[in-house]
Chain A
Amino acid sequence: MMHIVVCVKAVPGSTEVRMDPVTHTIIRDGGAAVVNPFDATALEVALRIKDARANMGRPTRVSTLSMGIPATESLLRDCIARGADDALLLSDRAFAGADTLATSYALSCGMHALCDGTAPDLVLCGKMAVDGDTAQIGPELAGLLDMACATDVRSVEVPSPGGVVVRRATDQGIERVELPLPAVLTIAKDAVQPRMPSIAGVFAARDAEVRVLGAHGVGADSARIGLAGSPTQVVRSFVPEREAAGEDVLGDVAAQAARVRELMGGACA
C-alpha cells in the first residue's frame, strides 16, 4: 500500500496576528485557527491520488501530521472528515518556540512514528504557511529524511512505485520533473480546489482516533526541538498599528470646507 503523509499547520484564521512581546513568536491560542490554505490544497492532492489509485484497484493510505497545541486536534479531525485515513498530532510544551529547523526535525520524528520506523512513499506539504511565509519546512524535511524534493508543485501525476512526475512553476515557465520515491513535494495553493467533507465523513471523523504524542513519544532529541533547537533568533517583530484615527468631516458645506482647509494647514488658497 502506498503511504502518503500530508503535513498540516494550524494558522490564525484572521489577518490580525498577535505576537508574544517576550518571545517574539505568534500567540497560538487556537481560538480561530484554520488549516493553512496551502496545506489544505496539499491534502486535496493526496486525496486525488488516493481516488485515482483506488480506481486502478491500488490502495493508498493518507495520513496527516501536525505539530501544535492540543486544540490542533480538531483541525486534524477535519482532515479525516475530508478523506484522510488517520492523523498524528505532536503536542508538547517542549516543542514550543520552534523555528523551521526544529519544526522539521520534530515532524521527521513524527513521520517515523506514523510509519512504524519506516518512511512514507510521499510527503506533501503546502508550499508555505500563510503566517510564517518561510517555505522552508518541505525542503528541510527532504533533507532530514533524505528524500528527493520538488517545490511549488502545480500538478502531480498518479505516482507509481518507480516514481512520480510533477509540474512546478519556475521563473522560466513550467518545469516537468520526474522524482524517484520516496519524495517530498510542496504544493502551490491554486493547484486544485480542496473538497469539503461529506456528511458520512463528518461522522467518521467524530469517531476516529487522533493520536497525540509528545517529544518522548516520538523519541525526539531534546536539544533539537523547541526554542533550544532553534538557531533562528528573532530580534524584534511587531504588527504595525494604525496611530491616527480618521475624522468624519460633518456640518454644512461651508463648515466642511472650513474644516478641510484647517486640516490642510490653511494651505489651499
Chain B
Amino acid sequence: MGVTQVQIEACGSEHEDYLHDESRSTGFAESISFPQSEDEVRAILRELHERRIPVTVQGARTGLAAGAVPHGGHVLNLSRMNRVLGLAHDDAGTFSVRVQPGVVLSELRKYLSAKRFPLNGWDESSKAAAQALAEAPEQMFPTDPTESTACLGGMAACNASGARSYRYGPMRPHVQALRMVLADGDVLALRRGAVSACGRKLALTTEGGRRIVADLPTYTMPHAKNASGYYIEDDMDAIDLVIGSDGTLGVITELELALMPAPAVIWAASCFFTDEQAALDATVSVRAGLSHVAALEYFDPAALDILRRAKASGTAFASLPDLPAEHDGALCCLYVELHCADEDQAMADLGLLAEILGKTGGDAQRAWVARTAVDREALTFFRHAVPESVNMLIDERRRTDASITKLGSDMSVPNERLHDVVALYRATLAKEGLQAAAWGHIGDNHLHVNVLPRSHDEFLRGKRLFERWAHEVTAMGGAVSAEHGVGKLKRDFLAIMYGDEHLREMARVKGAFDPYGQLGRGNLFPEELLAATEEASTGAGPDAAADFAAGTSGAAGFERPGCEGVSA
C-alpha cells in the first residue's frame, strides 16, 4: 500500500468562498485541503496534528450557525468525498445506504427517486441490494432540512432537522453507523447498538487501539427539539454523542443511513387564519387530533407580507401561488403535511382538519390542498421562498449599512409553552420596536423568529433581545438551538442554557477525543475554556481528563453487569 499523498494548499484568493457559509459570517484560514478518501483525511490530520494546527471541517457550507467558518488554521473541505459507497438490505426488508460525508441530500434523493445509483466500485452485495431496491416500493431518507443542497456529513454533524422532523425526528435516529477520523488521524468506527455508556461513563477503543474514556456531562437535556451541545443521556449509545457534535470530536468520513418506504400518499394543506392566536390554537388541536401529520409549519403575518411583496416585484418569485389578501382573512398561515398509507387515511385527516379550522377561526373554503406533484412543488416553493425573500431584503439593507445581518432564532420550547413563547416574542419585539418575521416548525414549538434590522442600532438591540430570549426559553425548559446546531454564532446561548460548569464538562469530553482542541475551533466552546481544557488534558497536572485521554482512568464504581466495557 502506497503512502497517501497529502494535498494541503495555502489559502489564496481563489479560496475566498471557503471562508464563509450560509450564516453569512466570514472567517480566515492559512491552508485548505479537499480530500477524496478517508485515507487522505487521515494523512492530512496526522500532518496537522504534529503541528497542533486548528482544523475546521466543511461540507456544503449551508449551515446557519457558522460551524464551517474557519477561525484560523486549516480548512478540511469534504465536498469531494461525495460518493455513495454501497447499499444494504437486511432480513426485515430495511434498506440502508453508505455514503461519504460530502454526498448532497438532493443527490441522494435523486438516486432514490430514480431507484438508480452509480455502482462504480460497489461490492456484489451492494449491487444485489441495488437490484432489490429497484424492485421495492420507493424508499426515502426522511430528514428534510429546507436546504436540500446540504451534505449528509454536515447534517449529521449538526443533527439537522427540518419540517418533516415533526414525524420522523431529526437526523440522529436515522444514522445507523459512522466512521470518524480523530484529530491524531486515528479512526473510530461506531455502530448503533454496539457501544453504550454506562450511566454517564463512556469508554471507546479506536481502530488504532487507543482507549478513550470520558465522564459524560451531568446535565439533563430539555424535553424539546434540541441541537444544543452534546447529546447526553444515561446509558446512551456512543454514536449519539458524535451526531450533533458540530465537528468538535472528529471528522465524519462515512455514514450508514437507514432508509424507509416513501408514503403512498402525501397531501399538504395551507390553511389561512385571521389572527395568530387562532393559528396557535389550531396547532394544538392538530397535534392532538390528526394521526398522520409529517410537518406542521407556520408563517406569520410579516412573513406572508414579505412573500406578497416578493411576488409583486416580479422577480424569481413571480410564479408563487397567489396569496389571498390580508384584508380577505389571510393574515397568517399554517401548513399541514400528511403522510398516509392511502387516500382514505388522508381524507379522514383532512376532514378532521376542516373541523379544527371551523372551531378555531380558519376557513376550509380558503385552504389550499396540494395532492398532485405540481401543487406540492408550488407549496414547497412557497415555503422555501420565505427565507429566500428575507435574505434578499437583508441584502438590500446591507447596501446602505454593511454592519446589518439577519438575526434568525432557532429556539424551541416544550409543547405546553407554545402560547407563552409566542407571547414573549410578540411583547418584546413590540417593546423594542423591531421589525421581524417568524416562520417554521410550530408543531415542535420551534419558530425561526428573524429580526430584520433597519440600522446598526436595531441590529445590536436584536442581538440583545435574542440573549434575553435564550434566558427565558431556557427557563421554559426549551433549547437555544433546536436544529441549526450551536456552531460559533450561538455559543454564548449554549452557556446560558447549560451554565459554565456543564460547558466545562462538555469541554472535557472534547478533550478526551481531541486533547489539543484542534477540531472545530470556535464551535460550542469559547477559546479560553478550550485552552484551559487543553492544558488539563495534555499537561502533567493531576486532571481526570488527562487520565481518560491516556486510558488510565481508575474511576471506580461503575463496574456493574453490563458495564464491563467502561472500566479502563
Contact = CB atoms under 8 A, between A and B. Distances in A.
Contacts of B373: 13, 34
A199 interface: yes
A250 B120 CA distance: 9
B106 to A, nearest CB: 17
A13 B354 CA distance: 29
Contacts, number: 66
B347 A196 contact: no
8 contacts: A78-B371, A195-B368, A197-B369, A198-B366, A199-B367, A201-B369, A206-B347, A248-B121
A193 B368 contact: no
Interface in A80-108: 81
A39 to B, nearest CB: 12
Contacts of A252: 2, 5
A126 interface: no
Nearest to B320: A193
A195 B320 CA distance: 11
Contacts of A193: 319-322
Nearest to A192: B322
B355 to A, nearest CB: 10
Interface in A19-47: 34-35, 37, 40
A195 B367 CA distance: 11
B568 interface: no
B112 interface: no
Interface string A200-220: 111100100000000000000
B133 interface: no
Contacts of B120: 247-248, 250
A253 interface: yes
B121 A198 contact: no
Nearest to B319: A193
Given A193-B319, A193-B322, A253-B5, A198 B350 contact: no
A247 B121 CA distance: 11
B470 interface: no
B325 to A, nearest CB: 14
Contacts of B368: 195-198
A248 B100 CA distance: 16
The 6 closest A-B pairs by CB, nearest first: A196-B368, A199-B364, A248-B120, A200-B364, A199-B367, A200-B365
Given A201-B369, A250-B121, A196 B321 contact: yes
A248 B118 contact: yes
Interface residues of B, number: 32
A203 B351 contact: yes
Given A193-B321, A196-B370, A198-B365, 19 more contacts: A37-B374, A78-B372, A193-B322, A195-B321, A195-B322, A195-B368, A196-B270, A196-B321, A198-B368, A199-B271, A199-B350, A199-B354, A199-B367, A200-B354, A200-B365, A203-B347, A248-B120, A250-B120, A250-B121
Contacts of B118: 248
Contacts of B496: none
B269 interface: yes
A249 to B, nearest CB: 10
B374 A34 contact: yes
Contacts of B365: 198-200
Interface in B303-328: 319-322
A34, A200, A202, A206 — most chain B CB neighbours (10 Å) = A202
Given A248-B120, A253-B5, A202 B371 contact: yes
Nearest to B118: A248
A196 B333 CA distance: 15
A247 B118 CA distance: 10
Give the most central of A37, A199, A200, A248: most B CB within 10 Å.
A199
Nearest to B7: A253
Contact of B371 (A40, A197, A248): A197
Nearest to A13: B373
Contacts of A202: 347, 350, 369, 371
Contact of B369 (A37, A196, A247, A250): A196
Interface string B423-450: 0000000000000000000000000000
B45 interface: no
A203 B120 CA distance: 49
B375 interface: yes
B290 interface: no
A193 B321 CA distance: 6
A38 B478 CA distance: 49
Contacts of A196: 270, 321, 368-370, 375, 378-379
A107 B375 CA distance: 27
A85 B204 CA distance: 68
B29 interface: no
Contacts of B374: 34, 37, 40
A201 B367 CA distance: 10
B32 interface: no
A10 to B, nearest CB: 12
A35 B373 CA distance: 11
B357 interface: yes
Nearest to A254: B5
Contacts of A198: 364-369
A248 B379 CA distance: 37
B175 interface: no
Interface in A248-269: 248, 250, 252-253
A257 to B, nearest CB: 13
B76 interface: no
A40 to B, nearest CB: 8
Given A200-B354, A248-B120, A34 B372 contact: yes
B353 interface: yes
Contacts of A201: 369
B467 to A, nearest CB: 41
A203 B372 contact: no
A202 B368 CA distance: 10
A75 B271 CA distance: 23
Nearest to A248: B120
Nearest to B379: A196
Contacts of B375: 196
Contacts of B366: 198
A43 B271 CA distance: 23
Contacts of B367: 198-199
Contacts of B322: 193, 195
B506 to A, nearest CB: 39
B342 to A, nearest CB: 14
Interface in A40-78: 40, 78
A40 B375 CA distance: 11
Contacts of B271: 199
Interface in B336-361: 347, 350-351, 353-354, 357
Interface string A160-181: 0000000000000000000000
Contacts of B2: 252
A199 B336 CA distance: 12
A116 to B, nearest CB: 30
